[in-house]
Amino acid sequence: MAKLTPMMQQYMKIKEQHKDSILFFRLGDFYEMFFDDALVASKELEITLTARECGLKEKAPMCGIPYHSSDNYISKLVEKGFKIAICEQVQDPSTAKGIVKRDVVRIITPGTITDMQALDEKSNNYLCCVYMDNEGLGISYVDITTGELYTTEARGNKEKLKRTLIDELAKITPNEIIVNNLLFEETVFVKSLKSKFDVMINKYHEWVFDRKTASNRIKKQLDVITLEGYGISNNEFSISSTGALIEYLNETQKIALKHLNNINSYSIEKYMVLDINTRRNLEITETLRGKSKKGSLLWLLDKTSTAMGARLLKKWLEEPLLDINKINERLNSVEYLVDNQYILDEIKELFKNVYDIERLVSRIVYGSCNARDLISLRNSIGVLPKLKKILIETDSEDLMKIGKNIDELKEVYDLIVKSIIEEPPVTIKEGGIIKKEYNKELKELKEATVKGKEWLTDLQADERKRTGIKSLKVGFNKVFGYYIEVTKSNIENVPDNYVRKQTLANSERYITPELKEMESRILGSEEKSMDLEYKLFVQIRDYIRKEIKRIQNCAKIISKIDALCSLSQVSYKNNYIKPEINNDGILDIKNGRHPVVEKTLDEELFVPNDTLLDNNNNRLSIITGPNMAGKSTYMRQVAIISLMAQIGCFVPAESATVGLVDRIFTRVGASDDLSQGQSTFMVEMSEVANILNNSTKDSLLILDEIGRGTSTYDGLSIAWAVVEYISNKTKLGAKTLFATHYHELTELEGKLDGVKNYNILVKEKGDDIIFLRKISRGGADKSYGIEVARLAGVPNPVIDRSKEILESLEKRETEKKEIAMTKDTIIKEKEENYDKKEIKKEKSDFQLSFIDKNKEEIIDELKSLDMMETTPLDAINILYSLTKKVKDH
């Protein structure tokens, strides 16, 4: 039997340990892939597939990429969901006996990419680890390009935990998830996660989740003996997931990740919970349709100057606060900056010099940073003293506090200033990066080079004098080094000690022993100084590595100020105002606007609207009005204003009092999840279920057309019952905006506590309707569906026909009355089962819809009118008699 070549044996051995990865096997200047890896990679990367002798009968399929351009290929494969194991030569080939030793030095997965080109600088790239069993859930996630690590945990039954997990993942949007076995075996759930978040999910060794092992792993990483200081010593689920996460990083990265030096543990209740639908519906970080940032709330609010600031701002948007003090801290800072544009501009000017310090730091940790990175770091931290001064001199307590905490990092700054030259090359091994004054030895070496070159020019002058050859010159080329050149006409004057090296058409080139000696001295010292520079550079890098924690702290402060500046700038430019935050659940907005819609409207002017919701008489607003009139915009506007207030941003309104909201739920029509094989109605109802099961009295509910996905009476009944349930203080009592086309629901005002009717004004003008976009008290009587259909361009025959049908349907209204009454009793019965006391009180005046004989008369009267023949005075009189009829009823 044929035997594999030794090299292929080595390959197979390593591949055996990394079966789930594509193995990049370093051979000289190439990474090669073999066998199945080669087949896959050549196809995915569109590179040529060749073959190589491997000792077996058939050649091994092979493809390869040059190592210096590997980043690109690696990112491409990782993006496509592959894991890549990088196998390097770990021995100097020149000293190796037999086959050079090779080993995997790093495994790259979607969650552990560090190639800056492949990553969006304005968002984090999270790797997430989830531990879940029958009692609890631990979630930990890390961005290894910045060193941030977060963890949280939850307890409860499995369904609740799954819900929590989905909500958290919606916030984190990780690029890779590793889970424990128990969770992984819930195949349906895992599959739904995969499709919902479009993410790679793998299980990880069970033993690393063991609490003891995990705890030790964390302690080792943090270099501590107890976890007390990190607030997770009692959070067993957090410990499991964090420990496993760190172990996974250890296994894949294979270096000490010094920048992972802190664990941010938070409780889920600390932040406003936004489920995945709400995040999508409110278009917080991306738009619903195009999934693009442009048009989202983030797009509007992000005027940050640094990538770090942009990432933090995104995080703020994803995690609105619930702590009134913290919110006010941010609001006060924003207020100060809005009022003092001067300061704001000054800070923004400073930040022009700031690079992505967080990611610079990770390059320092990975040892992949060059001298230019250090210059960038120097420029970045160079702004600290000035920033500190600006902040301390403000009148804002909160900004002053931040300013006082700034560590100016003087030693690091001075070290770089002293050591690294201003515009260093990209390479770090070819010299030209360290200032010669930094090191005595380096200075001597450099001076030797300079002196050597001076000596050469002197030599030219001396030799000219000595030989009398005026055209003699000293030159240099790469092959011969330094030489003396004499033109052919002067050859007879060449002295004896010249050794001829090369003959050219017009001249001869010579060397002398002393010239060669000087040459080796010059070249030698150049080489030495290159080596020395590299050594010094590594020393400097290592010194800075020790200060990483301090640098990270500065990065945090800069990001925070940057994010605050961004909010301030947007608030100022768009005339936002400072909201007053309260804990009493009062949401009182005067002339509120939808910040994004307002921005995208060009000439059309955005009509501001008031909102009043509280815990008493104004808990639930039923909003009626035609399609297209702006119900959805209005409701989203209220949710977004609440959200903006709770991230500490000013809000688009004339004045606003915002009561803290623990969760925002939205049920808006658009997100039909057909891909998961659920019907529109099923999706709608499961969302309603989620909302009713998980909201509290402090939640804000945005419900748009509940019950529209089924038959009219089914839908109406469900909508009705939902309103009853929500408005009932003993059951839910959450603040709710409820948009509907079931005008029957407007009957509920006055019958149910806390329910108020609102409608969006429109004006009819002949066949046209004019949208006034103004919210007003009271219910609407008509949905103007046909008019809207006409505006949308539905062909005229269809429009005309639907008008006919509508008319005939309306004529049958009276007949329907009976049916309605029957339904009435059903509802009454149900209500009684629900809550007997409540019903008794309002038994007598229960009525489903307003039907009136008068109505037909009035309509007939209107129909018979000829407007062209009517004088204004007559019109007024007719109107008067009509209103009288209606009122007298």
The residue among 422 and 603 lying less far from another protein, judged by its C-beta, is 603
d(CA 132, CA 162) in angstroms, rounded, equals 9
The residue among 216 and 575 lying less far from another protein, judged by its C-beta, is 575
Q: Give CA angle at 252 (248, 254), nearest 5°.
A: 110
Contact (Cβ atoms closer than 8 angstroms) between residue 109 and residue 83: yes
d(CA 149, CA 120) in angstroms, rounded, equals 19
471 lies in the site for another protein, by CB under 8 A: yes
* 8-37 positions binding another protein, by CB under 8 A: none
Query: Torsion angle, CA of 637/639/644/648, rounded to 10 degrees?
Result: 140
Min CB(407)–another protein separation in Å: 22
Kindly give the residue spans of alpha helices, DSSP state H, lying in 144-271.
158-172, 181-184, 187-197, 211-222, 236-253
Residue 144: CA atoms inside 13 Å, Cβ hemisphere, count? Answer: 27
The residue among 534 and 572 lying less far from another protein, judged by its C-beta, is 572
772 lies in the site for another protein, by CB under 8 A: yes
The residue among 1 and 873 lying less far from another protein, judged by its C-beta, is 873
The residue among 402 and 701 lying less far from another protein, judged by its C-beta, is 402
Q: Which residue has the tokens 């008067």?
A: 880
Contact (Cβ atoms closer than 8 angstroms) between residue 608 and residue 365: no
Min CB(630)–another protein separation in Å: 8
Phi, psi of 620 (to 5 degrees): -130, 125
Strand 102-108, strand 148-155: pairing: unpaired
The residue among 104 and 344 lying less far from another protein, judged by its C-beta, is 344
Query: Which of 137, 371, 607, 638 is the binder for another protein (CB under 8 A)?
Result: 607
Q: Is 246 helix (H, G, I), strand (E, B) or coil?
A: helix
* 725-764 positions binding another protein, by CB under 8 A: 761, 763
Stretch that binds another protein, among 55-63, 320-328, 341-349, 432-440 (CB under 8 A): 341-349
Stretch that binds another protein, among 57-65, 165-173, 602-610, 748-756 (CB under 8 A): 602-610
Q: What share of the chain is helix, strand, coil (3-state, %, to 5)?
A: 50, 20, 30
The residue among 605 and 868 lying less far from another protein, judged by its C-beta, is 605
The residue among 363 and 594 lying less far from another protein, judged by its C-beta, is 594
Min CB(405)–another protein separation in Å: 18
Query: Which of 771, 780, 783, 827 is the binder for another protein (CB under 8 A)?
Result: 771
Min CB(576)–another protein separation in Å: 12
Q: Give CA angle at 161 (702, 126), nearest 5°.
A: 85
d(CA 552, CA 262) in angstroms, rounded, equals 11
Count of residues in contact with another protein, rule CB under 8 A:
31
Query: Which of 216, 341, 696, 854 is the binder for another protein (CB under 8 A)?
Result: 341
Contact (Cβ atoms closer than 8 angstroms) between residue 574 and residue 651: no
Min CB(446)–another protein separation in Å: 25
Min CB(653)–another protein separation in Å: 12
Is the four-CA dihedral 549, 558, 269, 314 of positive or negative sign?
A: negative
57 lies in the site for another protein, by CB under 8 A: no
626 lies in the site for another protein, by CB under 8 A: no
Query: Which of 115, 186, 210, 339 is the binder for another protein (CB under 8 A)?
Result: 339
422 lies in the site for another protein, by CB under 8 A: no
The residue among 281 and 568 lying less far from another protein, judged by its C-beta, is 568
The residue among 118 and 772 lying less far from another protein, judged by its C-beta, is 772
Query: Which of 58, 92, 603, 866 is the binder for another protein (CB under 8 A)?
Result: 603
Stretch that binds another protein, among 231-239, 288-296, 599-607, 704-712 (CB under 8 A): 599-607
The residue among 47 and 400 lying less far from another protein, judged by its C-beta, is 400
Query: Which of 243, 608, 625, 626 is the binder for another protein (CB under 8 A)?
Result: 608
The residue among 277 and 304 lying less far from another protein, judged by its C-beta, is 304
Query: Which of 520, 575, 693, 870 is the binder for another protein (CB under 8 A)?
Result: 575
DSSP per-residue letters across 294-314: TTSHHHHH---SSHHHHHHHH
Min CB(161)–another protein separation in Å: 47
* 842-871 positions binding another protein, by CB under 8 A: none
Min CB(497)–another protein separation in Å: 24
Min CB(589)–another protein separation in Å: 15
Q: Which residues are 412's β-sheet partners?
A: none
Min CB(774)–another protein separation in Å: 5
Q: In what order do the strands lie in the sheet with 620-624?
A: 273-274, 663-667, 700-704, 735-739, 620-624, 755-765, 768-777
Stretch that binds another protein, among 134-142, 193-201, 765-773, 867-875 (CB under 8 A): 765-773
765 lies in the site for another protein, by CB under 8 A: yes
Residue type, 90: V
Query: Which of 204, 510, 606, 634 is the binder for another protein (CB under 8 A)?
Result: 606
Distance of CA 390 to the CA centre of its chain: 30
The residue among 550 and 774 lying less far from another protein, judged by its C-beta, is 774
Q: Which helix (H) or strand (E) holds 33?
A: strand 30-34
Stretch that binds another protein, among 13-21, 117-125, 571-579, 713-721 (CB under 8 A): 571-579
572 lies in the site for another protein, by CB under 8 A: yes
The residue among 342 and 730 lying less far from another protein, judged by its C-beta, is 342
Q: Record the tokens describing residue 337, joined without a space.
A: 């900056």
Residues 6+ apart with CB under 8 A from 578: 331, 334, 335, 650
Stretch that binds another protein, among 192-200, 205-213, 556-564, 605-613 (CB under 8 A): 605-613
Residues 6+ apart with CB under 8 A from 74: 24, 84, 86, 108, 113, 115
Query: Torsion angle, CA of 358/362/364/365, rounded to 10 degrees?
Result: 140
Residues 6+ apart with CB under 8 A from 475: 482, 483, 484, 485, 509
Phi, psi of 271 (to 5 degrees): -120, 155
Phi, psi of 430 (to 5 degrees): -110, 20
Min CB(471)–another protein separation in Å: 7
Min CB(348)–another protein separation in Å: 11
The residue among 393 and 835 lying less far from another protein, judged by its C-beta, is 393
Stretch that binds another protein, among 176-184, 421-429, 769-777, 833-841 (CB under 8 A): 769-777
Is the four-CA dihedral 664, 666, 671, 676 of positive or negative sign?
A: positive
The residue among 186 and 339 lying less far from another protein, judged by its C-beta, is 339
Nearest to 469 by CA among 495, 499, 504: 495
d(CA 230, CA 246) in angstroms, rounded, equals 15
* 352-411 positions binding another protein, by CB under 8 A: 389, 393-395
Min CB(441)–another protein separation in Å: 33
d(CA 847, CA 823) in angstroms, rounded, equals 10
Stretch that binds another protein, among 81-89, 520-528, 637-645, 768-776 (CB under 8 A): 768-776
Measure Cα distances from 231 to 128, 236, 242 in Å: 20, 11, 13
Min CB(354)–another protein separation in Å: 17
* 773-812 positions binding another protein, by CB under 8 A: 773-774, 776
Interface residue list for another protein (CB under 8 A): 339-343, 345-346, 389, 393-395, 470-471, 572-573, 575, 591, 603, 605-608, 761, 763, 765, 770-774, 776
